[in-house]
Amino acid sequence: MTITIYTITDENTGRECTNCTATKKALDRKGITYQSREMTDVEREAFRKAGHLAAPVVITDTDTWAGFRPDKILTLTAKES
């Protein structure tokens, strides 16, 4: 399964968003492999138009969501088994 996480960085602190970090840590704890990319302005606008108003935006082969979603991460664990 291919999983891509589109993250954003806080311009004031230079740190990745809290939900982005939480999502990556949760995936790491579950041993789920993913690719992480900094969201471009064009991608951010496209995600916004698609209704994804929070970061990160996670795209898998079968699902897409925005924000830190432990429930969605659990479904990925079930599919990996």
pLDDT, averaged in runs of 10, over the chain (81 residues): 94 90 96 96 96 96 96 82 52
CB 57 within 8 Å of CB 39: yes
Which pLDDT does position 80 carry in this prediction?
A: 59
- Delimit the domains of the chain by residue range: 21-80
Q: In what order do the strands lie in the sheet with 4-7?
A: 35-38, 4-7, 57-59, 64-66
Which pLDDT does position 10 carry in this prediction?
A: 84
Comparing CA positions, the residue from 67, 61, 64 lying closest to residue 23 is 67
Which pLDDT does position 81 carry in this prediction?
A: 52
CATH no. for 21-80: 3.40.30.10
Rounded-to-10 torsion of CA 11, 18, 16, 73: -140
**Element (DSSP H or E) covering residue 16:** none
Which pLDDT does position 65 carry in this prediction?
A: 97
Cis peptide preceding 56, ω within 30 of 0:
yes
Q: What does pTM read for this prediction?
A: 0.90
